[in-house]
Amino acid sequence: MKDYNILKIKAVKLRKTGLSYGDIKKKLNVSKSTLSLWLKNVELTNEQKKKLYTNSILMLSRGSQSQKERRKREIDKIIETSMREIPVPLTLETFRLFGAALYWAEGSKSSGFKITNSDPHLILFMVRWIEKIFNISPKKLKAWLNIYPQQNDLEIKQFWSELTGIPIKNFGKSYVKPLNKNYKKNNLYYGTIGVMIPKGTNIRYKIFGWINATLKNVNADIKLTQKKWEKLTETSRAINL
């Protein structure tokens, strides 16, 4: 059985040395609420208060960093586990539909065949996809850049040319975006590249055919819902002033 009188005396002595409630709790195995009652009248020196405050800030900082590191480990584990769920190399059919889905998301819908993005992974995948699915060499593709005034046009062309195998001579004139004073959250070090298949309109329609076949099971529900909400299509277009 605990002798609280002795514990209180020990707690007061420890507090006077500048220990925190947490440290005293660990030493004496007494709740913080009890310590708060026993030690409320114990005065600390300014130096002791300063030290406790500094330690408290450090603990908060370490706690935040520890949470970030723990979350990063969790995310890494999720990604590593999910990667094992995908058999590689991909089957031709999976490869074909994955590229079609990327084009559906990032490709031109109204003219020719052109896909635009700033992610080197996506662009290189699509260049290789075009070569494997349509037997079109990167040397036959065309490309354009969107860059900022402070970027080096030739060096960025060399980067994309080396990555994709598209000759620099196949790059058209880059579009240089006007200066913008607003802060950019994402710094596009390599600009944005558009890759085009010359005379690629029929290829685009072919991809749309694959997409439509994949979406066949949802088309009926979409048409039914669109018919129900047909009034939404009667909204007039916004006018730019």
Give the separation between CA 38 and CA 153, rounded to whole angstroms.
71
Q: Answer yes or no: are the C-beta atoms of 201 and 113 closer than 8 Å.
A: yes
The boundaries of the domain holding residue 122 are 92-217
Res 4: pLDDT? 82
Q: Are residues 55 and 13 in the same domain?
A: yes
Within a domain: residue 178?
yes
Sign of CA dihedral 100, 124, 166, 168: positive
Res 130: pLDDT? 98
Give the separation between CA 27 and CA 112, rounded to whole angstroms.
75
For the chain, 241 residues long, the average pLDDT of each consecutive 10-residue run is: 82 90 89 89 87 78 72 92 93 96 95 96 98 98 95 96 98 89 69 97 97 92 91 76 54
Look at residues 81, 108, 135 and tell me which one is the last residue of a structural domain. Answer: 81
* pTM score: 0.69
Res 32: pLDDT? 87
**Beta strands 192-197; 175-176: pairing state:** unpaired
**Beta strands 175-176; 113-117: pairing state:** unpaired
Res 70: pLDDT? 84
How many folded domains does the chain comprise?
Answer: 2
Sign of CA dihedral 27, 28, 30, 35: negative
DSSP track, 119-145: -HHHHHHHHHHHHHHH---GGG-EEEE
Q: Are residues 74 and 109 in the same domain?
A: no
